[in-house]
Structure 1
């Protein structure tokens, strides 16, 4: 199971929620004020109803009855108007707060180190951006204002009941310990329960996404049963987590139901007995009973939404956990002094206690072309990702111009080093926007120059709307080679001085790969290039070759030097050429590199 992204503590979530609402004091005061006025208007009803009963009992005049009835109707109408605008003010405040939270979350998620996202799995981040955001949206737009209304209304109802008759307010005390005990029992267990529930749902999402993405591989290897079993296990964990939170609700809600029904019964019995003894009037008894009945609704609403608040709090903690993830950008870091990249004593492992790289030492000379070769699983791609700043070493350092790659902002890092891999993505938008996304203010001549550099301008101009043609999902379809050319054009526009190539053409057919190599050659010209070489022809044409075995660089030198040394590289070279063992020293004369080859 992949380690999840961090989760913020309850204290951090509470402080952040308060800080969000404090950013809009005017809107917050307006919402609270309107709700307060609506609650006060609602309190007039029971008191007027009690007066109405009292007037009827003593045989009052019709004019007095009409006056009380009109006042009662007027307060009901006023309360309805105030509630309408109070909800509108709460909705505006909630949407404003939620919009700011979403913007901060997306901005922070986009700056997460790729290594952090990859180790956590796409499912966790996807669940946070969808299910948790939706849950928090419901909490901010509905649960928070509803809870606020319930608290204000309930507090004012208790005050009004005490004013009518302190004796008739006493039965409320019977429900307090039941409510407090039941709610404390629930609140102690609910946060961790909902966090487990959301984490289990992330595992389901992660497993399903992995199965869909690798559907062809699953089918080819006949592993459908294994994937179904994985999904069943994930769903089983999710079911157990949800069953636990359901258990909490099924215990808590009946207890709460008793806690506010019991005071109602006791008020009727106590009030009737006091009325028969002449201690309270019929009007007081009527008003008190109506107030107690009126108290049930906000209390019920408060406790019902408390469950939603627990869900929202868990979602907020998970969203804030992204903010708590390791920072990649550190403002104030000095600019690199030069373009030399140095790897010193680097150790790295994806899982704690299992190192992939062990004490790697390497210096990249500006402008050189270095090929990194070695058997599968030796750590070649891991070293390349460290050189590109996608991962940070657990020990040692990777610096450019004397500055650690991990200390650079994402924008500055990509201006220094960029990774060119088999993966690429075309975003929904125009071709111009896709190329210029690395420099949004780039003018059209710069975009055209970048496309021309990778031999893509001709087909780009041939699109229905030229550079303004919409591509991506639902747009004009592009071939894999064209998509890769767009990715290379972005690099030309970004203009990094060092490129890390991880078999950028390996997944293309030979003809497309041959054309793309011409584009790649234009990109790498004049730059420092590190090629993760799975095919040794690129190593043959490199300035130096680094042989990686078991997480260490065991050989470093030119192609000719390493072949003459008769070490691991020489064995790889002979194996790649299909020669078991030469009868005489190999001819190490360097073939002339193709003019259009990356190396």
Structure 2
């Protein structure tokens, strides 16, 4: 069962957002300053217009009226210029913050332990890297600057209104309670609701990804309806989550609309009553009505973009929550002394109440070839992943050269032990980059030597641009066997002293698998090899064979000795030999080279 990656709490989100802004103090001050200047230019218009009304009423000269009109026009032009540069500054600040956040998120993802990624499932991580990043991008680019503009304008308009006459604060008091009550009601419910919405979308992505990746298995077992039911259930949960957030908006938005439309009407009626009693002038009333009308735009922006801010905050919480699973490495990394691997008292459980391995003890000497065999579900692959440092034991220890695998940084661990599985990946880029990613900047000669060692040089020379040929999606498509050879060439450059082979050729057709055995033999030569043998051909050539039953090593020794003992391994060997002879004699299994 997959477990979602952690989600940061509100305090962590606010702290991270503040830290991001503090990294660009100059640009942030310039952005705020430009918006304040643009808002002040906007506020000059209503005050001057009120003065113009008073001047007309007092019978001022035409020249004086012209000066006021030109001044108003000048402030309108200044407002436009300042607004343009304020938006440019906001966009520049937003893009820098977004770029920094994306880079940091990518670094966090790349440092995630593989076991954590596997337990979380692909859907959750995929949703965070796509939907959450997109939502945050929209928030940083638009919602944050628009909200900042709205808040600055709102504060300055209220101050300008009070400077016209403190009496005009009364109409504002009518709308404030409605706005405060509605916004508090919304904000108490929105954060959790949007987190549920994003989590539900992750479940949809996870289910669809599993269905697509396992389409053949689903069809072979006739489980189409089960997957359809799973998808329908996930979609329903997602729909219910989105319907709830929509409900929140349909309640909150009308309350906000009322809170800033009502003061406009009240200001006009109340101001007219004040004017009739000589408490305010007609010019003051004109300015006040326009100022209250100006409040509509920032309040409308707040109501429109606060929803996006909540979505962005939920996405940011999911993105920075990834950092919570990164285990800090010790300040001083220990250096392994030799390549001896020791497993002592190892127990492991994927779930707390279901232990898979029970008290495993094992020692691997440098250069030894060990085959791990047993029936399906016995714990062979789990032991292999513990030996490769993919998982950490629940109890006990796995050490290399006297140092626990858990204490080694990822790049140091892969220089000691590497896992070779049935899975492989060709990244978008040149063939050179695909191979050299194990050691960035490695000379071309070493890249070619690694490819030659795995017998890939022939087809590499036939590529249109050799090592500079683009491969992967949109480039030259490599066959599964060629992609596996690229993965093996990476291993040669990484040069680990121990390899854990988990049926690296099992998914290839028999002919391709037999050809690839030559490549794999070049990689394992001279190294310590642990072969997870689902088929027993490779066990025959091993120095020792470990037989796993129900998460325990029940037999350990050379092939001939175990066959002669007539125990569990002998039974497996007779069963496999009988099946191989009855079949086509396929021996496409990962070899253990001498």
TM-score bracket, shorter-length normalisation:
over 0.9
Q: Contact (CA 8 Å) 2:334, 2:407: kept in 1 or not?
A: no
Determine the structure 1 residue equivalent to 2:212: 212
Shift of 1:244: 0.7
2:398 match: secondary structure: strand
Q: Contact (CA 8 Å) 2:34, 2:86: kept in 1 or not?
A: yes
Shift of 1:385: 0.8
1:58 aligns with 2:50: no
Residue by residue over 1:129-175, the C-alpha shift from the partner in whole angstroms, topping out at 9 and shown as x without a partner, is: 11100110111111111111111111011111111000112221222
Shift of 1:330: 4.4
Determine the structure 1 residue equivalent to 2:455: 455
Determine the structure 2 residue equivalent to 1:29: 29
Structure 2 vs 1, CA of residues 113 and 541 (structure 1 numbering), >3 Å: closer, same or farther? same
Shift of 1:43: 0.5
Q: Matched residue pairs, number?
A: 586
Equivalent of residue 593 in structure 2, options 567, 579, 598? 598
Determine the structure 2 residue equivalent to 1:582: none
Shift of 1:225: 1.7
Shift of 1:266: 2.0
CA distance in 1: counterparts of 2:198 and 2:86, whole angstroms: 32
Determine the structure 1 residue equivalent to 2:386: 386
Q: Contact (CA 8 Å) 2:456, 2:485: kept in 1 or not?
A: yes
Shift of 1:462: 2.4
1:146 match: secondary structure: helix
CA distance in 1: counterparts of 2:592 and 2:149, whole angstroms: 70
CA distance in 1: counterparts of 2:115 and 2:87, whole angstroms: 44
Determine the structure 1 residue equivalent to 2:586: none
Determine the structure 1 residue equivalent to 2:170: 170
Q: Contact (CA 8 Å) 1:328, 1:409: kept in 2 or not?
A: no
Shift of 1:400: 1.2
1:474 aligns with 2:469: no
Q: Contact (CA 8 Å) 1:328, 1:407: kept in 2 or not?
A: no
When normalised by structure 1's length, the TM-score is: 0.95
Residue by residue over 1:239-284, the C-alpha shift from the partner in whole angstroms, topping out at 9 and shown as x without a partner, is: 0000111111111111111222222222122111111111110001
Map 1:441-520; keep pairs closer than 5 Å: 441-520=441-520
Residue by residue over 1:356-389, the C-alpha shift from the partner in whole angstroms, topping out at 9 and shown as x without a partner, is: 1122111111110000000100110011111111
Shift of 1:418: 0.4
CA distance in 1: counterparts of 2:525 and 2:65, whole angstroms: 95
Q: Contact (CA 8 Å) 2:111, 2:326: kept in 1 or not?
A: no
Shift of 1:477: 2.6
Determine the structure 2 residue equivalent to 1:268: 268
Shift of 1:574: 1.3
2:354 match: secondary structure: coil
Determine the structure 1 residue equivalent to 2:524: 524
Map 1:116-515; keep pairs closer than 5 Å: 116-327=116-327, 329-515=329-515
Gaps of 5+ in 2: 580-588
Determine the structure 1 residue equivalent to 2:583: none
CA distance in 2: counterparts of 1:545 and 1:559, whole angstroms: 6
When normalised by structure 2's length, the TM-score is: 0.96
CA distance in 2: counterparts of 1:75 and 1:151, whole angstroms: 21
CA distance in 2: counterparts of 1:466 and 1:91, whole angstroms: 42
Q: Contact (CA 8 Å) 1:430, 1:468: kept in 2 or not?
A: yes
CA distance in 1: counterparts of 2:565 and 2:408, whole angstroms: 39
Residue by residue over 1:10-64, the C-alpha shift from the partner in whole angstroms, topping out at 9 and shown as x without a partner, is: 1001100000010000110110000000000001011011111111222222112
CA distance in 1: counterparts of 2:218 and 2:412, whole angstroms: 40
Determine the structure 2 residue equivalent to 1:547: 547
Per mean C-alpha deviation after superposition, the further-off stretch among 396-405 and 414-423 is 396-405
CA distance in 1: counterparts of 2:308 and 2:550, whole angstroms: 52
Q: Contact (CA 8 Å) 2:420, 2:499: kept in 1 or not?
A: yes
Q: Contact (CA 8 Å) 1:426, 1:471: kept in 2 or not?
A: yes
Shift of 1:351: 2.1
Residue by residue over 1:571-599, the C-alpha shift from the partner in whole angstroms, topping out at 9 and shown as x without a partner, is: 111111229xxxxxxxxxxxxxx9x8636
2:556 match: secondary structure: strand
Determine the structure 2 residue equivalent to 1:585: none
Residue by residue over 1:46-93, the C-alpha shift from the partner in whole angstroms, topping out at 9 and shown as x without a partner, is: 101111111122222211211111111110110011000000000000
